[in-house]
Structure 1
Amino acid sequence: MASNFEKSHCLIDNLKARINKLAFKTQDTTKLFQRGDQVEVASQEWGYIGAYYTATIVSPIGNSHYRVRYKNLVNDDKSDLLVEIVKASEIRPVPPKHETLLVPEDIRMYDIVDVFDNDGWWIGFISGRHEENYKAYFPTTGETLAYSPHLLRFHQEWNKGNWISSN
């Protein structure tokens, strides 16, 4: 019979694998976006994989790309918001706020969450609590950091035109 430690370790390994799979997943491109639509762009850049950045569609480019303007990222000289061309497979709608807002009594150990840090939403899981803050572990970076509940949301995946909870 497996000990609680072994069960916990197995659960953590499964969560790490699941989050890594989600982080490297291409987005479901069932939605066509229009100019002005609010979206999230999944980073495919090493060191930022697993992060989603809020942006606005500037224009579609052909059938498979969009020009976007990020809400929180700036260009190299910091003179304006960053505008770049991204693949449609890297874009999803912004998750509905009412279903993702977290209140402390709803947060449980090992919940898969997005944490707002470094101008984007990073996927991880709750690994503990320290006073009023929650510790989140990020499998894509190997870091564990503590955050206030207002910086957390439950992770959801855009799948065939619907939001699916990861918990």
Structure 2
Amino acid sequence: MHLRPRREFQMCPSPPRMLSGIRTPPPRPVVYNVGDKVEVIGKEEGYVGSYYNATILSVLEDDRYKVQYESFIEDEETQTPLKDTLLKKDIRPKPPRVRTGSEFKPGQNVDAYDHRGWWNGKIIGDIEGVWGHYCVYYESSNEYVEYSASRIRVHHEFVDGHWLQAIL
């Protein structure tokens, strides 16, 4: 579903910045086990910047894993969930939940749930007259889409086994 904002929005003057000079913890090995809930990173054209919920089905050799997607199916008739074999670099743990209430700030880097996955964008502003609804801008497609706060989460990057959050 494609929603349009109810008023015109302006792009943020600059993207969020990570603070420089912050010492990050040493790399930490990541181990996934059967049954772990993970996210698969979308890398194909049209899917870059998206993440899809999945479960580890089996641990294979050479840092490969068999996963089952939560929202994709192999066969429409039997409703069999889609399974895939992926490299470790193409999956990540589910990100931490950050409580924001329902308040997001303009320029904040977020993920919004749409089209069966989490898509990275930026909050442009709230929707006037609609409490708890925000306009999210997607740079990759130059789109502005309205979402309720329940479909938005704070964006995190998974780097060297640690979750990092962008700072405005």
TM range (shorter): 0.7 to 0.9
- Of 103, 118, 121, the match for 1:121: 118
Residue deviations 1:72-123 (CA, integer Å, cap 9, x gap):
11124362111011121111100122x2x43233x10000000011111100
Query: Displacement, 1:10?
Result: 4.8
Q: TM-score, normalised by structure 1?
A: 0.78
Q: Distance in 2 between matches of 1:95 and 1:142?
A: 25
- Pair 29,161 (structure 1): closer, same or farther in 2 beyond 3 Å: closer
**Matched-pair contact (CA < 8 Å) for 1:29–1:92:** no
Letter of the 1:139 counterpart: E
More helix by share: 1
The one of 88, 107, 112 equivalent to 1:110 is: 107
- Aligned pairs for 1:45-84 (under 5 A) are 45-77=44-76, 79-84=79-84
Give the equivalent residue in structure 2 for 1:4.
none
**1 CA distance for matches of 2:161 and 2:148?**
31
Percent identical among aligned pairs is 32
Give, in angstroms, the shift of residue 29 of structure 1: 8.7
1:1-167 matches, cutoff 5 A: 10-11=13-14, 14=15, 30-77=29-76, 79-97=79-97, 99=98, 101-105=99-103, 107-130=104-127, 131-132=130-131, 133-167=133-167
* CA RMSD in angstroms, aligned pairs only: 2.1
CA distance in 2, matches of 1:30, 1:73: 29
- Taking structure 2 as the reference length, the TM-score comes to 0.77
Q: Are 2:12 and 2:107, in contact at CA under 8 Å, matched by a contact in 1?
A: no
Number of residue-to-residue matches in the alignment? 144
**Higher relative contact order at CA 8 Å, sep ≥6: structure 1 or structure 2?**
2
The superposition leaves residues 10-42 of structure 1 with CA deviations (integer Å, 9 ceiling, x where unpaired) of 51xx46xx8xxxxxxxxx993121111110110
In structure 1, the gaps of 5 or more residues are 1-7, 19-27
Superposition misfits of 4+ residues, deviation over 6 angstroms: none
Distance 1:142 1:39 in 2: 28
